[in-house]
Every structure is written in structure tokens, then in C-alpha cells.
């Protein structure tokens, strides 16, 4: 069979290639190598920095009605639509697999489905991924033939094999890897436990072969998509890093999904730096003890401070703390104090706007003041602006710029 894998464009107020690769789609493609495979990735960035991050092409577009009140410009991010239409006019496909990510990015998914229906109405369209799992009924309304909820690929009805991701079909200069799936923590604002119910480690041999594959294809920057990379390090991360050092593999590793600072010891920090980790992103969210405890107790302030100290002493040059803004209980976060605390420890601060994801405890509490049945209302920019207001958001961003200006890199 002739299969097409598509990573759709993004419609949003902002989007940046922060190591944003269609890893899930490529892993599915790797298990379908018995078929004739083609991949089309709308999200190919340009002018990447040293670490492999870059900007997408963007086009100003009208805001959808659900977001008309938000005083921000709205864009389509990604390659030209004409490039995809040209592919559909040149080749015929039996099945099209479409990746979905953020629930509020469904407009790009709908664009892909509309183009497929016009030019290849015979093709079976299958949606999978985060949006398809969190909002399956809404996803079905877009007109696909099948919506895959969850992780069971047997739903595809196609022969499956075990093989490395389909990196050879896309730009692999920047790669992604996961050595674990899921997260043992149950933070009340996070959708990971909904999408990945269990925490499991992946076989070391398979992970190392993925890394070797990326190196062969020219990748020099590799981001970890693990949601709990440091959990049970003796079983998963440390053997992987030791294998990297043993095989003398030279790539720069990055951690955009946030590390749990609780598990960063001086020994682990030193080994990560030796193995090639260049950027360390730590989930912090707040320095208020009661807020930390109420939202899952992932990490406490003393643990965060110890982690930053260990990383700095190990030679880490880029340490960033994520702090949520727009959370429905943000009045208890001590946001200004949290920002200053993180900066005082020696971390840069990156504000992470809250998105009310259905199925999470904190997301569900937002139903009283937003319509969660319309996924556009999950948009992090829109929700945070509506919840906090322009003056508050701008003030927090100004404080973040202020502390980052004086904080060490």
C-alpha cells in the first residue's frame, strides 16, 4: 500500500521551532516499513541557531471567531499549502496518517483533510496523536475516516513491525528521542497521564540504534521528548549516557520537556554534561509550598535550588526554569516572588502560559469560565490573556526580561 504521513501546519498567535519534530508520526512510520511510505512535514524551520532552533515561515490570517476578542495577530505557520497540493497532484496514496498535537491547532489538521478530500477522495484518512486522544469527538467532526485514541497501533489495521523512526523521509538535521514513555507523577495541570497512562522504559538497544540512525543522517542536535527523563535514572538515563560515552557519540542534547529537578544530583549533572547535554530546562512553576503540594508535589524550592547548584558546578551553561502563568489558582503562586527566586538561584526564567486541557483536574475547573468543548479555547495565549488581563501578563513578561538580563546564562 502507498502511505502518506503528514505533519500539519500550525494556526496560532505564535509558534517557534523549539525542537518541534513529528517524532510520534515518524515512529509510527518506522513500524509500517512494509509499505511504500512518503512523509510531508509542514513544520520545517529556517535559520536555525547553534542548538537547532529556528523560525517557521508565517502568514497573517484572519482570527477564528472563537478567538476574535484576543488582541494579538493570528498566523499560519509552516510551508506553503501549494507544496502539499503539488505532492497530491503527483502521487496517489491509499492511506494518509495525520499527526495531531495541541488540541487548539486543529485548524491546520482540518486544512490537510480538506485538501486530501478534494484531490484524493479515495484515500483513507487516519488521525492520531494528542488532539485525537484528548478530543476524539471533536476530531471526528473534521471529516477523517478514523480517529485513533491512545497508543494502540493495532487500531490501524495494518501489519506492524519493530523498526527505527522514519527519519530518512524528513529533514533530520535536528532529531528527537525518547528513552521512556509517560510520567509517574500526576501534576494536576498536565495531560501526559491522560495520553500516556503508565511510565515505562524503552529498551536501551532500540534507543541507541535510534541515536546512531540520527547521527548517520547528520543530526548534531537531539532533543529528549521524555516527560520524566530522570525518573529511575539507574535503569534508564544512566545506562544510555554511559553507552553514548562508550561509543564516543558527539551530539548536543536538549531537554525542552522539562527535567524534574528533584532527581538532579551532582553525579547525574556531571554525567549529563560529559555526555553532551547543552540546555537544561527545569519545571519549577512556583516557589509557594502550598501551591506546589496542591498541584502534585513534583518539586519543591529547596530541591530546585540544589539542582541548579549541581548543574552549575558541573559546568552547565544554559539552565532555564519554566514558570506557569495563567493557572486558575495563580493567585496562590506568588508569581513575582517565584520568578525572582528562580533567577536568584542562577537560572533564566521562561514563562509557560497555561492551557486548560480537558481531562486534567485543573483544566476541568476552567469549564466555569470557558467553553472547553471548543478546542480553540484551550489556546494558551488566549486563555492566559483572558484570565489575567493584558496589564498583568505584560507586567510578568517585563519582570521576566528584567531578571533574565542580570541572571547568568
Report pLDDT digits (tens) over 326-379. Answer: 988 877 778 999 999 999 999 999 999 999 999 999 999 999 989 999 999 999
| Domain definitions of the chain by residue range | 2-156, 172-406
C-alpha cell at 199: 511510565
**Whole-number mean pLDDT of the chain?**
94
The string over 227-265, giving b where at least 16 C-beta atoms fall within 10 Å of a residue's C-beta and e elsewhere, is bbbbbebeebbbbbbebbeeeebebbbbbbbbbbbbbbe
Mean pLDDT confidence for 211-236:
97
CA-angle at 178, arms to 160 and 257, nearest 5°: 135
The rounded distance, in Å, linking the Cα atoms of 127 and 137 is: 12
Give the percent of the chain with pLDDT over 70: 99
Tell me what the mean pLDDT of segment 251-272 comes to.
96
CA distance 229 to 226: 5
Residue 409 has pLDDT above 70, yes or no: no
Q: Which three cell numbers stand for residue 247?
A: 561509543
Please state, in angstroms and rounded to a whole number, the distance separating the CA atoms of residues 333 and 237: 32
**Contact assessment for residue 318 and residue 253, using Cβ atoms and an 8 Å cutoff:** no
Residue 358 CB coordination number (10 Å): 18
Q: Are the beta carbons of 37 and 126 closer than 8 angstroms?
A: no
CA–CA gap between residue 273 and residue 268 (Å, rounded): 9
Q: Does residue 392 have a pLDDT over 60?
A: yes
Residue 406: the pLDDT is 62
- Kindly indicate whether the domain formed by 172-406 is annotated with CATH number 3.40.50.12160: no
* Region 142-156 average pLDDT: 95
pLDDT value at 127 more than 50: yes
Q: Is the pLDDT of residue 297 over 80?
A: no
Section 43-58 average pLDDT: 94
**pLDDT tens digits, residue range 5-34?**
999 999 999 999 999 999 999 999 999 999
Range 266-272 average pLDDT = 98
Q: How far apart are CA 98 and CA 143, in angstroms?
A: 12
Residue 285 confidence (pLDDT)? 81
Spell 281-295 as b/e; 16+ CB within 10 A means b. bbbbbbbbeebbeeb
Handedness of CA 231, 232, 237, 240 (dihedral sign): negative
Calpha distance 31→159 (Å, rounded): 8
Residue in this structure with the C-alpha cell 547528520, named with its chain if needed: 218
HEC sequence for the chain: CEEEEEECCEEECCCCECCCCCHHHHHHHHCCCCCEEEEEECCCCECCCCCCCEECCEEECCCCHHHCCCCCCCEEECCCHHHHHHHHHHCCCCEEEEEECCHHHHHHHHHHHHHHHHHCCCCEEEEEEHHHHHCHHHHHCCCCCEECCCCCHHHHCCCCCCCCCCHHHCCCCEEEECCEECCCCCCCCCCHHHHCCCCEECCHHHHHHHHHHHHHCCCCEEEECCCCCCCCCCCCHHHHHHHHHHCCCCCEEECCCCECHHHCCHHHHHHHHHHCECEEEEECCCCCHHHHHHCCCCCCHHHHHHHHHHHHHHCCCEEEEEEEECCCCHHHCCHHHHHHHHHHCCCEEEEEECCCCCCCHHHHHHHHCCCCCCHHHHCHHHHHHHHHCHHHHHHHHHHHHHHHHHCCC
- pLDDT, one tens digit per residue, over 93-106 is 999 999 999 999 99
State the pLDDT at residue 3.
98
pLDDT for 265 beyond 80: yes
The least confident of 68-82, 183-197, 262-276 is 183-197
pLDDT of residue 19: 97
pLDDT at residue number 186: 86
Residues 265-293 have a mean pLDDT of 92
- What sign results for the dihedral spanned by CA atoms 98, 103, 108, 109? positive
At residue 267, the pLDDT reads: 97
* Contact status, residue 321 vs residue 260, Cβ threshold 8 Å: no
Q: Class of the 2-156 domain? A: alpha beta
Percent of all residues in the chain with a pLDDT value above 90, rounded to a whole number = 88
Residues 115/130, Cβ–Cβ less than 8 Å: no
Specify whether the backbone of 408 is left (phi greater than 0), alpha (psi in -120 to 50) or beta: beta
What confidence score (pLDDT) does residue 133 get?
96
User: What pLDDT was estimated at residue 369?
Assistant: 87
Nearest-angstrom CA–CA distance, 129 and 388: 30
What backbone torsions phi and psi does residue 146 show, to the nearest 5 degrees? -150, 140
CA distance 255 to 53: 13
Amino acid at each position: 500500500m502507498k502511505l502518506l504521513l503528514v505533519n500539519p501546519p500550525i494556526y496560532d498567535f505564535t509558534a517557534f521551532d523549539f525542537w518541534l519534530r513529528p517524532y510520534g508520526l515518524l515512529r509510527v512510520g518506522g513500524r509500517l516499513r512494509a509499505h511504500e511510505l512518503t512523509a510531508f512535514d509542514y513544520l520545517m524551520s529556517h535559520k536555525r541557531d547553534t542548538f537547532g532552533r529556528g523560525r517557521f515561515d508565517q502568514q497573517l490570517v484572519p482570527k477564528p471567531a472563537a478567538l476574535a476578542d484576543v488582541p494579538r495577530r493570528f498566523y499560519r505557520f509552516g510551508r506553503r499549502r501549494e507544496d502539499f497540493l503539488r505532492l497530491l497532484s503527483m502521487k496517489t496514496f491509499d492511506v494518509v496518517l495525520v499527526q495531531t498535537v495541541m488540541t487548539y491547532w486543529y485548524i491546520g489538521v482540518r486544512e490537510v483533510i480538506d485538501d486530501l478530500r478534494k484531490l484524493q477522495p479515495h484515500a483513507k484518512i487516519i488521525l492520531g496523536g494528542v488532539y485525537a486522544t484528548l478530543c476524539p469527538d471533536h476530531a471526528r467532526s473534521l471529516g477523517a475516516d478514523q480517529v485513533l485514541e491512545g497508543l494502540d497501533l493495532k487500531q490501524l489495521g495494518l501489519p506492524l513491525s519493530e523498526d527505527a523512526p522514519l527519519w530518512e523521509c524528513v529533514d533530520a538535521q535536528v532529531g528527537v528521542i525518547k528513552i521512556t514513555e509517560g510520567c509517574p507523577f500526576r501534576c494536576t495541570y498536565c495531560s501526559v497521564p491522560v495520553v500516556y497512562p503508565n511510565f515505562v522504559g524503552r529498551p536501551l538497544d532500540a534507543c541507541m540504534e535510534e541515536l546512531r540512525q540520527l547521527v548517520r543522517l547528520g543530526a548534531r542536535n537531539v532533543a529528549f521528548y521524555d516527560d520524566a527523563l530522570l525518573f529511575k535514572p539507574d535503569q534508564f538515563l544512566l545506562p544510555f549516557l554511559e553507552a553514548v560515552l562508550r561509543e564516543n557519540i558527539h551530539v548536543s542534547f536538549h531537554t525542552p520537556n522539562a527535567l524534574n529537578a528533584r532527581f538532579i544530583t551532582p553525579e547525574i549533572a556531571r554525567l549529563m554534561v560529559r555526555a553532551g547535554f547543552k540546555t537544561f530546562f527545569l519545571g519549577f512553576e512556583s516557589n509557594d509550598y502550598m501551591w506546589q503540594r496542591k498541584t502534585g508535589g513534583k518539586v519543591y524550592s529547596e530541591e530546585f535550588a540544589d539542582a541548579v547548584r549541581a548543574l552549575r558546578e558541573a559546568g552547565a551553561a544554559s539552565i532555564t526554569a519554566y514558570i506557569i502563568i495563567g493557572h486558575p489558582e495563580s493567585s496562590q503562586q506568588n508569581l513575582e516572588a517565584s520568578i525572582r527566586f528562580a533567577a536568584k538561584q542562577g537560572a533564566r526564567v521562561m514563562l509557560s502560559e497555561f492551557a486548560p486541557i480537558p481531562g486534567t483536574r485543573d483544566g476541568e475547573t476552567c469549564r466555569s469560565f470557558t467553553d472547553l468543548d471548543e478546542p480553540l479555547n484551550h489556546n494558551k495565549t488566549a486563555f492566559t490573556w483572558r484570565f489575567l488581563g493584558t496589564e498583568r501578563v505584560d507586567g510578568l513578561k517585563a519582570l521576566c526580561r528584567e531578571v533574565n538580563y542580570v541572571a547568568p546564562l
